[in-house]
Amino acid sequence: MNEPKINILLIEDDPDHADLILDIFDTEDVNSDVILMKDGQEVIDYLQGTDYPAGTVQSDIKGDNIRHSQIDLIILDLNLPKINGMDVLKSLKGNSKCSSIPVVILSTSSDQNTISEAYRNGANGYVTKPMSYDEFVDKIKMLRLYWSDTNTLPLQV
């Protein structure tokens, strides 16, 4: 039986981290399409349905064109340009069109106050980016396994 495709919005400004995450999804045969966005303002505009003239969006899209109403999972870095990730999280969870989309924070910060704030603001998970390559790969694999194989996501209409 074919697993349903999971549509992921990856919000990561570090190109090395973004490439690594995309590579892991590819090598792990995750049945997914991934939209990569690199700053908080771009995310807010995209999820609010702002229309962009052709070629102006900085995002890299792997797979089919995905409408924001079809996003199944958001992976969000906190240290973003323009609008920081915590403000993006607040905006997502305060928007009735996006509030049910699971958001997992993927951040270098292991500060307990930051983690607590993320959960208070509606994060569904918090993963601290490890310093070593192997640990980073392992955490992304675990994240992928949980959200694409274990967890049941709501149907998007």
Look up the CATH number of the domain holding residue 89: 3.40.50.2300
Answer whether residue 23 is part of any domain. yes
Which pLDDT score, from 0 to 100, does residue 105 have?
A: 95
Domain range spanning residue 140? Answer: 6-150
Per-residue pLDDT at 14: 93
Residues lower than pLDDT 50 in the chain? 1, 51-68, 157
By the 8 A CB rule, do 99 and 122 touch? yes
| Whole-angstrom distance, CA of residue 104 vs CA of residue 143 | 9
Domain contains 138: yes
Number of domains forming the structure of the chain: 1
The answer to whether residue 145 sits within a structural domain is: yes
> How far is Cα 148 from Cα 8, in angstroms, rounded to an integer?
10
pLDDT of residue 114: 96
The pLDDT of residue 78: 95
Residue 156 covered by a domain:
no
Residue 1 is assigned to a structural domain of this protein: no
Residue 6 CA to residue 121 CA, distance in Å, equals 24
CA dihedral 146, 58, 18, 112 (to 10 degrees): -70
* Per-residue confidence (pLDDT) for residue 61, from 0 to 100: 40
Instruction: Please indicate, yes or no, if residue 155 is contained in any of the structural domains.
Output: no
- The pTM for the full model equals 0.81
Q: Whole-angstrom Cα distance, residue 35 to residue 127? A: 19
Element (H, E) at 73: strand 73-76
- In-domain check, residue 118: yes
- What was the pLDDT predicted at 2? 56
Does 41 map to a domain?
Answer: yes
Please report the pLDDT score of residue 97 as a whole number.
81
Tokens of 42: 């771009």
pLDDT at residue 54, rounded to an integer: 37
Q: What is the structure's pLDDT at 142? A: 81
pLDDT score, position 62: 42
DSSP string, 139-156: HHHHHHIIIIIISPPPPP
Alpha-carbon distances of 102 from 72, 92, 99, 132, 155, rounded to whole Å: 7, 10, 8, 26, 12
